[in-house]
Amino acid sequence: MTRFFVSLALASLLGPVPVFAQTETPPPSEATDEFSDSFLEPWVGIHFAGDLTSALSTAGTHRPTAYGATLGFWQRGFIGGEIEFGYSKDYFGDSGSSLLGGNNLMTFTGSMMLGPWIKFSDNQAVRPYAVVGGGLARSRIEDFAKFGHTDQNRGVIDFGGGLNVYFTRNIGVRGDVRIMRDVGSEEAGSTGWGVTDTTYKRVHVGVLLAF
């Protein structure tokens, strides 16, 4: 009995013994070697007629400047997608021309991208790719209004390819070659549909902003 009271007195003097809950240290987040799934690319380029060699030559052919932006998505795998908008002022010729006046070309396309990732480090990579898709081309020639041909909307198919270069996981550059072909009736009043002879060809360079 005496032993019991001694033990009780010692317990009261020492006070309650704190009980520390055993907590598991969360494991460090696993490092991923995947790059961003999406990107935004503002770009500038030129349209050209004929093949790439003649377009880059010093010949005095008309090569209007084009501006635009591309939104890429589903980029981590071999297959991805993109939506692109492009605008080219004076596409058909100098707006000072008495024949044409103000004129422009706008394109809006959605395409599938196919290409492998080639990684040099955790933060640097290149991705060569091919694209195929379709969309809309809208042309405008102001001084043709009196002839009834002010605006024209045509469906297009587009194909081409290029290279994405990532300096970091979030910043890089892109070079792209794109060809678009009108899709519609071959001739006015024709009931047959197919790819016409109207072709838009363009090269552009842009800044990749991955996110």
Structure tokens, 211: 């996110």
Distance CA 30, CA 50 (A): 51
Distance CA 185, CA 193 (A): 4
Q: Which residue has the tokens 């198919």?
A: 157
- Domains of the chain, CATH where assigned: 35-210 (2.40.160.20)
Q: Which helix (H) or strand (E) holds 46?
A: strand 39-48
Read off the pTM.
0.73
pLDDT in tens, the chain (211 residues): 555 554 545 555 555 545 444 555 545 444 456 888 999 999 999 998 644 434 444 445 678 999 999 999 999 999 999 999 999 998 877 777 656 677 889 999 999 999 999 999 999 999 999 999 999 999 888 765 555 557 788 899 999 999 999 999 999 999 999 999 988 654 444 444 455 568 889 999 999 999 9
